[in-house]
Amino acid sequence: MLRVDRLSKSFATPDGMTQAVKGIGFEVAEGEFYTLVGPSGCGKTTTLRCIAGLERPSGGAITIADVTVDEPDAGVHVPSHLRDIGMVFQSYAIWPHLNVFENVAYPLRVTKPAPVKSEIEQRVMDSLQLVGMGDLARRSATKLSGGQQQRVALARALVRKPKLLLLDEPLSNLDAKLREQMRVELEEMVARVGLTTIYVTHDQAEALSMSDRVAVMSEGLIAQEGSPRDVYARPSTQFVASFLGVANVLTGIVGGPDTVVLDDGAGRLSVPLSNGFETGARIRVVVRPEDIEIRADGADGADNCIAGRLERVVFEGAQSECFIRAKDYRIRVRVHQATDAREGDDIWLRILPDRCVVFHQDGN
């Protein structure tokens, strides 16, 4: 449905040219929910705006439904309004001079030829119903709450059943509770329509929970692409690992086959190592807080255990976040609320070997 090929985009700034996107490529299949996630300035929004036709790429090509919409080298640029897309903006951009109904009806009214009045009515109401705003069709756009604006923006993006739905940080302007709720609703609504969706966010929880596939971007490049589960569990770089969630990083050297000797005599771990890791090489072991168990007893070197002291327990309701001091490391562990460990206890940490991800010293 969407193919982005060697896309690059440069901007002129007072300090010279800046390359915001440095030649990225990906494909999104029909009906897929594809997320571009990354910290601000990584190029994700620029990529989305290029797909929308709001920015002109500097190089590469973009193809939507087998139609090349951008290929600067061939002089191809299809303007936004001729691309069959729907977009939700970060600020929602609900037009203040139109009411809810007219905001949503707008894409239909500007279509040529415009559908007949009754059809517009029908489709707008369907769309509003879908986002749960059917009752507020006549309300002035300026009297909407943030969540309502977001729904209207979505209804507007969906109303003409575009080939491609583009969402630019649609949840970032909502408060936390509403964001949680809307995240689920949004995913469901989009799933119901079955549209191919490109979603841009800096929030890894949104990226992981909503997407079929995720592309983690950094400095204008895609660092890793894959299913949320894969990318989370098997990050290909330390950046991806730490961006997608809390990651404990333990440093050490390869002590032998599948063996890691941690620095400062913190202990030895048994971790499956691929062929690329020579004995004696400095490495980093990344392990997530939920992949570590806390035990009251254990033995050094046995069963992937290392000793530590429980410094702090942060109660979070369903679970607790524990901070454990093991030599120079401060390790975060997420435990079920039932755990009865107390602050100050000497405990053992068991690190699940197959959940560890190992990188070379440079993070790759």
Partner 1 sequence: MAATAQAVRVHRTGDIGISGVLVLGAAVAAAVYFISAPLAMLLFSAFRGPEDLLPFETGAAWTLDNFAQVYGDTVLYSEIIPNTLVFVAGSVLVAFVIAFTLAWLIERTDLPGRNVFFTLIIFPIIVPTVILAIAWMFMFTPNSGWVNLAIRAAFGLERTAGPLNILSMPGLILAQGASLVPFMFLLLTAALKTMNPAFEEASATSGASPLTTFFKVTLPVLRPGILAPVILAALIALESFELPLIIGLPARINVFAIQIFFELNPDTDLPVYGRAAAVALPFLAAALGLLFLYNHLIRRAESYVTVTGKGYRPARYPLGRWKWPAIIFASTYIGLAAVIPAAVLVWVSLFGFNPPTVGSLGKVSFDAYSELLSDFRFYRAVGNTFLVAGLSAFIVTLVGALVSWVVVRSNMPGRKVLDFISFLSIGIPSVIAGLAMLLLYITLPIGVFGTVWVLVLAYCYRLAVTTRISRAGLMQLHQELEEASRVAGGQWLTTIRRVVLPLMAPSLVASFVLLFIIGFREFTLALILLSEENMVLSVILFRFFENTEMDKAAAVATLIVVFVVPVIFAARRFALPQEREG
Site for partner 1 in 130-149 (CB under 8 A): 140, 142-146, 149
Binding of partner 1 by 76 (CB under 8 A): no
- Site map 167..206 versus partner 1, x via CB under 8 A: ------x---------------------------------
Within residues 257-296, the interface with partner 1 by CB under 8 A covers none
Burial class (CB in 10 A: 0-12, 13-18, 19+), 253: middle
Whether the CB-CB separation of 288 and 244 falls below 8 Å is answered with no
Of the candidates 111, 279, 361, 364, which one interacts with partner 1 according to CB under 8 A? 111
Q: Is 29 an interacting residue with respect to partner 1 (CB under 8 A)?
A: no
* Total of chain residues touching partner 1, rule CB under 8 A: 46
53 or 298: whose CB is closer to partner 1? 53
Is 55 a binding residue for partner 1 by CB under 8 A? The answer is yes
Q: Which two tokens stand for residue 37?
A: 């996630």
In the chain, alpha helices (H): 44-52, 100-109, 117-130, 146-158, 176-193, 204-210, 228-233, 238-243
Q: Is 166 in the site for partner 1 (CB under 8 A)?
A: yes
Q: How far is CA 217 from CA 52, 90, 204, 211, in A?
A: 18, 19, 12, 15
Q: CA geometry: angle at 290 spanning 226 and 313, to 5°? A: 140
Nearer to partner 1, 19 or 227 (CB): 19
- At 236 the three-state DSSP class reads coil
Largest CA distance in the chain: 77
| Shortest distance, position 68 Cβ to partner 1, whole Å | 18
Coil, helix or strand for 231? helix
Residues in contact with partner 1 by CB under 8 A are 11-14, 49, 52-56, 79-87, 89-98, 106-107, 110-111, 140, 142-146, 149, 153, 156-157, 160, 166, 173
